[in-house]
């Protein structure tokens, strides 16, 4: 069974390390969200970093070709449930403005998008925008699905988690990531139904999948596989 850990890195942002029992050697691959490394079982993080250092020069060159492009005034997010864009304004800080078309981020008049600090600030503004939209959109949708399928929950909280779409506690409290706003509606529904299923079946045993299949026309595993391949990087 594969396991995953994430190591911070100055060049790649993060190194995503996956342990796989069939792996015999350490393999590395650059993707837009970081450096992906597959390792044999029981490989130490120190060993992984040692191997990365041996090839860092070449990996950094590859990273420059596929790494994230800086966010600037041409940046757009347009999904069925979330729309966002940037505009330059007369303020000295980033601010969010909700309109009928979506959310616009008004940038400082002298903004320099080439600076790392500016990229950090604008990315934080995008996450704040997603949280604002998710807070308005997701709880009512969750409540509707809960009532329709008779799967009550206790409370819902919107988080900024990027590594986990959602979670459900033993007391019926559900956490939902604001990154759900980037998903197509059918995958968003799947995540919400997945967490609601945990209010009745806390594990991922046969009864859990039977329950979830009953609400997704027998497509629970297919939807899970599609969700795993969805990239939420912006």
CA distance 35 to 15: 5
Give which of 192, 209, 88 is closest to 139, Cα–Cα: 192
- The predicted structure's pLDDT at residue 2: 55
Q: Positive or negative, the Cα torsion across 47, 50, 54, 59? A: positive
With beta carbons less than 8 A apart as the criterion, state whether 178 and 160 touch.
yes
* pLDDT above 60 for 1: no
CA distance 227 to 188: 9
With beta carbons less than 8 A apart as the criterion, state whether 118 and 125 touch.
no
The superfamily (CATH) of domain 137-228 is Metalloproteases ("zincins"), catalytic domain (3.30.2010.10)
DSSP state of 182: G
Burial of 24 (0-12, 13-18, 19+ CB in 10 A): exposed
Q: What is the mean pLDDT of the chain?
A: 92
Least confident of 67-76, 161-170, 197-206: 67-76
pLDDT band at 228, cuts 50/70/90? Answer: confident
* pLDDT above 80 for 163: no
CA distance 160 to 162: 6
Considering the chain, what percentage of its residues have pLDDT values greater than 70? 98
Over residues 170-191, the mean pLDDT reads 96
Give which of 100, 143, 105, 101 is closest to 122, Cα–Cα: 105
- The predicted structure's pLDDT at residue 162: 84
- The predicted structure's pLDDT at residue 68: 67
Sequence spans of domains, the chain: 3-66, 76-133, 137-228
At 181 the three-state DSSP class reads helix
* pLDDT above 80 for 87: yes
Over residues 95-106, the mean pLDDT reads 94
Q: What is the pLDDT of residues 106-156, one digit of tens each?
A: 999 889 998 888 999 999 999 999 999 999 999 999 999 999 999 999 999
Over residues 171-199, the mean pLDDT reads 97
Q: Positive or negative, the Cα torsion across 219, 225, 229, 234? A: positive
Helix (H) or strand (E) holding 189: helix 185-197
Phi-psi region of 113 (alpha: psi -120 to 50; beta: other; left: phi over 0): alpha
pTM: 0.73
Q: What is the pLDDT of residues 12-25, one digit of tens each?
A: 888 999 998 888 89
């Amino acid at each position: 069974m594969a396991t995953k850990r994430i190591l911070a890195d100055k060049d790649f942002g993060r190194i995503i390390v996956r342990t796989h029992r069939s792996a015999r050697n350490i393999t590395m691959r650059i993707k837009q969200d970081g450096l992906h490394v597959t390792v044999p079982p029981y490989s130490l993080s120190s060993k992984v970093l040692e191997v990365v250092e041996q090839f860092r020069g070449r990996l950094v060159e590859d990273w420059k070709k596929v790494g994230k492009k800086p966010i600037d005034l041409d940046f757009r997010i347009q999904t069925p449930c979330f729309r966002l864009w940037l505009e330059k304004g007369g303020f000295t800080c980033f601010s969010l403005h909700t309109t009928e078309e979506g959310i616009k981020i008004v940038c400082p008049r002298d903004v320099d998008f080439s600076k790392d600090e500016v990229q950090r600030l604008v990315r934080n503004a995008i996450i704040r925008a997603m949280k604002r939209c998710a807070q308005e959109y997701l709880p009512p949708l969750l409540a509707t699905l809960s009532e329709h399928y008779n799967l009550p929950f206790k409370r819902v909280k919107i988080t900024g988690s990027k590594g986990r779409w959602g979670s459900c506690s033993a007391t019926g409290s559900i956490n939902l990531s604001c990154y759900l706003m980037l998903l197509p509606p059918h995958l968003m529904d799947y995540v919400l139904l997945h967490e609601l299923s945990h209010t009745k079946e806390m594990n991922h045993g046969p009864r859990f999948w039977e329950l979830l299949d009953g609400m997704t026309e027998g497509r629970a595993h297919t939807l899970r596989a599609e969700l795993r391949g969805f990239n939420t990087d912006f």
